[in-house]
């Protein structure tokens, strides 16, 4: 268990990984209409798509290296 927590804390050093997690949570909240941007469905979908691009960058990132992408 301690080893697992050590691995997770090591991977959270990357700001790109943290941004990807936040973007995914915000996307889920927009799609569930918990967050309503008051701009219409098409704008909400565009915002969600842009956030998903951020998530994709976070997935492609090496989270164990906080200095390099």
Q: What is the pLDDT of residues 3-48, one digit of tens each?
A: 888 777 777 777 777 888 888 888 888 778 887 777 777 777 787 8
DSSP secondary structure letters along 4-58: HHHHHHHHTT-HHHHHHHHHHHHHHHHHTTSS--SS-HHHHHHHHHHHHHHHHHH
**Residues 69, 25, 7, CA angle at the centre, nearest 5°?**
50
Distance CA(50)–CA(32), nearest Å, equals: 17
Which residues lie below 8 Å from residue 30, measured CB to CB, with a gap of 6+?
A: 37, 44, 47, 48, 51
Please state the rounded mean pLDDT for residues 35-63: 77
Report the pLDDT value the prediction gives residue 67, as an integer from 0 to 100.
64
pTM above threshold 0.75: no
């Amino acid at each position: 268990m301690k080893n697992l927590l050590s691995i997770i804390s090591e991977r959270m050093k990357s700001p790109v990984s943290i941004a990807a997690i936040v973007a995914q949570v915000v996307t889920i909240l927009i799609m569930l209409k918990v967050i309503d941007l008051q701009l219409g469905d098409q704008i909400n979908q565009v915002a969600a798509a842009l956030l998903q691009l951020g998530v994709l960058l976070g997935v492609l990132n090496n989270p164990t290296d906080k200095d390099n992408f």
